[in-house]
Structure 1
Amino acid sequence: MDQTLHQRPAIELDGVHVTLPSRAGAIAILRGIDLIVPSGEAVAVVGPSGSGKSTLLMVIAGLERATAGKVAVAGADLGTLDEDGLARLRAAKIGIVFQSFHLVPTMTAIENVALPMEFLDQDGAFAIARASLDDVGLSHRESHFPGQLSGGEQQRVAIARALSTKPALILADEPTGNLDLATGAQVMDLLFTLKERTGATLLLITHDSELAKRCDRTVSLADGQIVKGGAKRA
């Protein structure tokens, strides 16, 4: 059988709009986004501030609802899922790495990494979390709290958490934005290495042209629309 008949793309956006209310009237954040990302591809999303990059990621993650259009991720139509369904999809299929780490400050490194697996009632959550911390070179820091870790270490914990469930899709929003140049380079080397090892799809929001070049394709946004790189690929 032709594999394309049953292997759905990791991301399918069809005519996606996001419009938010404001005192001055409705503001169009995304305006008719069409995008297909095949499984296993690494895609960089670039564009000026305010172009809609982070909103695009939030829509793909199911953290922001599209006002119009269809959003499908890992074969699931996000428009048909309630908040609980979206949360379970994120926990099982999507790993998210934010610029500001988003670690729970009252939890140790290993507890932070185990969190999505505990949400899924997954057996052996702490054993997997320990192995994930080892993958990012932080097994010796498992009992430390985020406030006791450097920025680079916190981002590596965030990556370990994002990849602990072996997600089909990794979403990374300026993951080196709060790190110095050398630490940021180490973090991205790690992220790309783990992406290749797991075969996951990667959508990376970045302002760094060198990072974008490491991806298979670059999608450029401006004023809520794709202006380059959005062509559908087989």
Structure 2
Amino acid sequence: MASDAGPVNILRGITLAIAAGEIAAVVGPSGAGKSSLMMVAGGLERATSGRVELAGRDLGPLDDDARARLRRDHVGIVFQGFHLIPTMTALENVALPLEFAGRTNAFETAQAALERVGLAPRVGHYPAQLSGGEQQRVAVARAFVGGPRLLLADEPTGNLDGATGKQVMDLLFDMARGNGATLILVTHDMTLAERCDRIVHIADGLVVDDRRTAAGLALAAQ
């Protein structure tokens, strides 16, 4: 990865392919490179070597604007922090990426997305007027509103209590499956990881284990 101080060797020789429609958990100790892997996979950070391919495009030759357009068209992101714009309503937050993409039906589509995550009565509320779980559901709606092929989720339940976190994850899994989207989930919660199709364990910037879960094996057998 590149930084202002020069190349930083966080990831070292990783070879990893995530299939379309697959739900993969990325686990490992703090500082192992989990979030960096997610950032590189989504084109948010530039790899200093190797090849990163997203939606059939090699990210290497793309400039910042081209990578931003690729993310806009194909990637949805849910962070641990909700990253909502405080001066915008839930509806405006979800409509914003569609407006950037020039969609004329941005607000109608955003309304439908918020209804899908159970927030129809809250569309006119600002983030400060919403609970943590509601804010994260707004973030989920925003991530899915453009119909992404890849969804990245970095500790999406880290700021939520157990029951609320489970509701948010149920929603993420259901929407990923329903949309046929690939989901890469960075998590420290092994119970949550076991709900994914596959668990990729990273340590010191390397993949040290990559296995199918019971859920993934059952799905493959169908």
TM-score in same-fold range (> 0.5): yes
2:59 maps to which of 75, 78, 84: 78
- Matched residue, 2:75: 94
1:192 maps to which of 162, 165, 173: 173
Equivalent pair of 1:20/1:29 in contact (CA under 8 Å):
no
Alpha-carbon deviation of 1:123? 2.2
Q: Partner amino acid for 2:47? A: A
Residue 160 of structure 2 aligns to a residue whose secondary structure is: coil
The count of residues paired between Structure 1 and Structure 2 equals: 212
C-alpha distance in 2 between matches for 1:33 and 1:118: 36
Q: Partner amino acid for 1:46? A: V
2:192 maps to which of 198, 205, 211: 211
Equivalent pair of 2:77/2:151 in contact (CA under 8 Å):
yes
Pairing of 1:158-177 with structure 2 (within 5 A): 158-177=139-158
Pairing of 1:67-146 with structure 2 (within 5 A): 67-146=48-127
- Matched residue, 1:181: 162
- Matched residue, 2:136: 155
Call closer, same or farther: CA 1:197–1:28 in 2, change over 3 Å: same
1:50 maps to which of 23, 31, 37: 31
Equivalent pair of 2:198/2:211 in contact (CA under 8 Å):
no
Q: Partner amino acid for 2:187? A: T
Q: Report the structure, 1 or 2, having the larger strand content.
A: 1
Alpha-carbon deviation of 1:91? 1.2
C-alpha distance in 2 between matches for 1:102 and 1:184: 17
Equivalent pair of 1:34/1:230 in contact (CA under 8 Å):
no
1:120-170 per-residue CA deviation (whole Å, 9 max, x = no partner) reads: 101201000000000000011111111111110000000000000111111
The reply on whether 1:66 has 2:39 as its aligned counterpart is no
Q: Partner amino acid for 2:116? A: D
1:80-113 per-residue CA deviation (whole Å, 9 max, x = no partner) reads: 2111111111111000000001111111100100
1:14-59 per-residue CA deviation (whole Å, 9 max, x = no partner) reads: xxxx36576xx96421111110011011000000000000111111
- Matched residue, 1:11: none
C-alpha distance in 1 between matches for 2:8 and 2:172: 34
CA RMSD of aligned residues (A): 1.6
- Matched residue, 2:216: none
C-alpha distance in 2 between matches for 1:201 and 1:100: 21
C-alpha distance in 2 between matches for 1:27 and 1:165: 32
Call closer, same or farther: CA 1:230–1:34 in 2, change over 3 Å: farther
Q: Partner amino acid for 2:72? A: A
TM-score after normalising by structure 1: 0.87
C-alpha distance in 2 between matches for 1:117 and 1:104: 15
